[in-house]
Structure 1
Amino acid sequence: MTTVQPTPSPEAELGLEEPLAPDAGTETLAVGASGPRRNAAWRTFLRKRSVWVFLPLLAVLILISFIGPSFVGDPVSAIYPKLLPPSSEHWLGTDNLGRDYLARVVYGGQISLIVGFSVAVLCLTLGLVIGGLAGYYGGFMDNALVKVSEFFQVLPGLVLALVAAALLGSNVVIIIVILGVTMWPGVARIVRAEAMRITKLGYVESAKAAGFSGPRILWSDVIPNAMPPVLVATTMTVGRAILVESGLSYLGIGDANRPSWGALLNSAQAYMQQAWWLALFPGLCIFLVVLAVNILGDAMNDALNPTIGRVK
C-alpha cells in the first residue's frame, strides 16, 4: 500500500514555520512564541517561590503609591506637631515641619516609580531601534551606531544632571530624559548582539531569499526573537534608574514641589538621631522596590532561557 506524504506548506519550504530555531546549543524563548512554549515559560516563572513573594510585594507598593493618595492626607499640610514618632494616629510619624509622613512617603513613591519605569521604557525603545538596526544591517550603519552608543555611554550622568538642572531647572521630565540618555547603550548592545546572532539563522536567510524587505524581517522576525535577554536587561534598568534618581534627589537635584523617596532621604539626614523614622521608611521602600525588580528580572531570565535556569 502506498503512503501518501503530506505536501509541505510554503512556509515550511521556506523555513519560516518555526522561527525560534535555537543557536548552537542556546535555548531561548521569544515573546511571540507559540502557545505551548509561552505557557511553559509562564509556568517556569510562576513556579519560583521568590516570584510569589516579590511580585505581590511590588504590586502592593505600586498600588499604594498611585491609589494611596486618595486615602491619605495632604502631604504639604503642616498642621501637626513636629517630629512625632509613629503611632496609631500617624502611622509613619510626622516630619520636621509637622507634615504627616505617611502622605509624604505615599506621594514620594509616585515620582520614584514613574522615573524608574519611564526610564526603562525609554531605554527599551532606543535600544531596540538603534541596536536592531546596527545588528541587522552591519557595516557602516553598525560602526556609526556603535560610535553613537559609545558616546552616550561615557557621558557622566551625574554631571549631565547638574548641568541640565542649572540650565533648564530640575523636574521629573528632565531627570527621565537624562537617565534614559545615559542608560540606553547597555540595552542597545544586547539587542545588537542578539540581532547579529539571529540574522545568521536559517529562517532569516529563507525570509531574505523569499524577497521580504529588511525592515519587515527585522521587526517581525529578528526583534521578537531577541526580546528575552532584552526584557531581563530592561527590568534591571528599572532598579538602576530608581537608585540613580534617589541619589540625585539626595543631592538636591529633583523637583522640590514633588519629592521622591530620595528627596525624603535628603531631608531626613539632618534628623537621623532624633527622628529615625524619617530615613527608615523611604529607604526601606527604595530597597524593597529595587530588590523586587531585580529578583523578578532574574526569575524572568530563568523562564525565558531554560538552559541558564537548569545550570543554576
Structure 2
Amino acid sequence: MTTQSDIDTAGLGAAPRPGTGIDIGAPAGGAPETEPVALARRRRSSAWRTFFRKPSTLVFGILLVVIALISFLGPFFVGDPVTTSQTVLAPPSAEYPLGTDMLGRDYLARVVYGGQISLLVGFSVALLCMTFGLLVGGLAGYYGGFADTALVKVAEFFQVLPGLVLALVAAALLGSSVLIIVVILAITMWPAVGRIARAEAMRISQLGYVESAKAAGFRGPRIIWSDVIPNAMPPVLVATSMTVGRAILVESGLAYLGVGDSNRPSWGALLNSAQAYMQSGWWLALFPGALIFLTVLAINILGDGLNDAFNPTVGRVK
C-alpha cells in the first residue's frame, strides 16, 4: 500500500529517473518538439498503459465504477428511502435485498442514497485539494523567493489545522451541511497535494525547454499553464487519489459522531444509526461498513498502481 512518504519521495524534485514519465513536457508556444520532449511523452504513454494493464487496476477499477454507478444510478431503480410502510427490522430477503431498518425503511434505498453523499464528499474534496494544490504549489515552485516563502507559510497554516475539530466547530456554528464539510476537509487536506506540486514546479522550472520559453518572452502564467502544470500532474494525481480515500473516511467518522445532514445520511451516518441494533439488526452495520471498506480499498489500490506506474523505482524498492 502506498504511504504518504512514498508519495513525498516520488514528488520532491529528485533528478528524473528513466521510465518515470514525469521528467520533461511539451515545449511552450507550439515550438517544434525536440527528441527529449517526444521521449518524455512516450514514457508518459507507456506509464499509463502499464497502469491500465495491471490486474489490480482492472479488478479494483471495475469495483469502484460499479459502486459509483449503483450509488448515482441506483435511485432510479430503488424505492423511497424515507417510506416507513415496511416491516421493522426485516432481515435481507428476496423482497428486501438488504433488509429494512428500525423504522421499516427499505435499507437498500438508504444505502444507495448514502453512497451518493460519501462519494460526492470524497471526490469533491479531492478535486478542491488538487485545484488549490496546483495553484499554490505551482506559483510557489515556479517563482520562488518571497512568493515561495509566503505561499509555503500559508500552506503550513492550513496543514496544522485539526480537520476533525474544525469540522465539529463549524457544524456547531454554521450547521452540518454537506457543503460545509467538503470545504472544511478541503482546506485542511490540500497542503499535502500542494507540497507535491511545489516540488515538481521547482524541478520543471529548471528544465531546458522552460528556460527557452522564458528567453522567447513567454510570461510566467503562460509557462505555468502550458508546461509546468501538465508535467506536474502524474505525482499530483497520485497524491489526489489518496485524498479521496482519506476524505471518505473522515466524513464517515464525522457522520458517525452525528455531524452531517440528517435528511441525506451518508454511509457513516447509517453506521451511527445502526450501533444500537448490532444484535437484532446486524445487516444495518454490515452493508455500509463493507461499502466504506471496499471503496477506500479500491481507491488506495488504484493510487498505489498509479505510483508504481509513474515511479517504477519507488515501486521496486517497496
Q: Structure 1 length normalisation: TM-score?
A: 0.89
- Is the CA contact 1:84–1:93 (under 8 Å) kept in the aligned structure 2? yes
1:138 aligns with 2:138: no
Q: In structure 2, give the amino acid aligned to 1:143.
A: T
Report if the CA contact (8 A) 1:23-1:201 is conserved: no
Distance 1:163 1:220 in 2: 40
1:301 to 292, 303, 307: 307
Matched, 1:259 2:251: no
Match of 2:252 in 1: 246
The verdict on how the C-alpha distance between 1:239 and 1:80 changes in structure 2, with shifts beyond 3 A counting, is same
Q: Which amino acid aligns with 1:55?
A: G
What is the count of residue pairs matched by the alignment?
Answer: 291
Deviation at 1:203, TM superposition (A): 1.8
Superimposed CA distance per residue, residues 205-259 of structure 1 (whole angstroms, 9 cap, x where no aligned partner):
2222222111111111111111111000000000000000000000000000000
Residues 67 and 170 (structure 1), Cα distance of their counterparts in 2 relative to 1, 3 Å cut: same
Match of 2:31 in 1: none
> How far, CA to CA, are the matches of 2:17 and 2:265 in structure 1?
49
Superposed CA RMSD? 1.7
- In the alignment, the residues of structure 2 paired with residue 157 and residue 117 of structure 1 have an alpha-carbon distance, to the nearest angstrom, of 17
What are the equivalent positions in structure 2 for 1:86-235 lying under 5 Å apart? 86-235=92-241
Offset, 1:307: 3.2
Map of 2:20 onto structure 1: 28
State the match for 2:7 in structure 1: none
Find the residue that maps to 1:25 and give its secondary structure: coil
8 Å Cα contact 2:20/2:309 also seen in 1: no
SS of 2:161's partner is coil
- Structure 2 CA distance, aligned partners of 1:27 and 1:230? 17
Match of 1:7 in 2: none
Give 1:163 deviation, angstroms. 1.5
Q: Distance in 1 between matches of 2:200 and 2:218?
A: 20
Bigger Rg, which one: 1
Structure 1 window deviating more from structure 2 (273-282 vs 211-220): it is: 211-220
Deviation larger for 154-163 or 130-139? 154-163
Separation in 2, partners of 1:306, 1:247:
34
Contact kept in structure 1, 2:20 and 2:43, CA below 8 Å: no
* In structure 2, distance between residues paired with 1:207 and 1:306: 30
Report how far residue 58 of structure 1 moved. 0.4
Q: Which amino acid aligns with 1:25?
A: R
Q: Aligned partners of 2:285 and 2:244: how far apart in 1?
A: 22
How far apart, in 2, do the equivalents of 1:155 and 1:206 lie? 40
Quickly say closer, same or farther: Cα 1:36–1:139, change in 2 above 3 A. closer
- Distance in 2 between residues matched to 1:186 and 1:24, nearest whole Å: 21
Tell me by how many angstroms 1:51 deviates.
1.1
Q: Residue type of the partner of 1:272?
A: M
Distance 1:198 1:38 in 2: 15
Gapped regions of structure 2 (runs ≥ 5): 1-13, 27-36
SS in 2 for 1:177: helix
State the SS of the aligned residue for 1:121.
helix
In structure 2, the residue matched to 1:52 is 58
TM-superposed deviation, 1:311: 4.6
Deviation at residue 167 of structure 1 after TM alignment: 1.4
TM-score (norm 2): 0.87
Kept in 2, the 8 Å contact 1:115–1:242? The answer is: yes
Shift of 1:42: 2.7
Aligned equivalents of 2:110, 2:175: Cα separation in 1:
23
Deviation at 1:304, TM superposition (A): 2.1
How far the C-alpha of 1:53 sits from its partner, in A, is 0.8
The answer to whether the 8 A contact 1:28-1:228 is kept is no
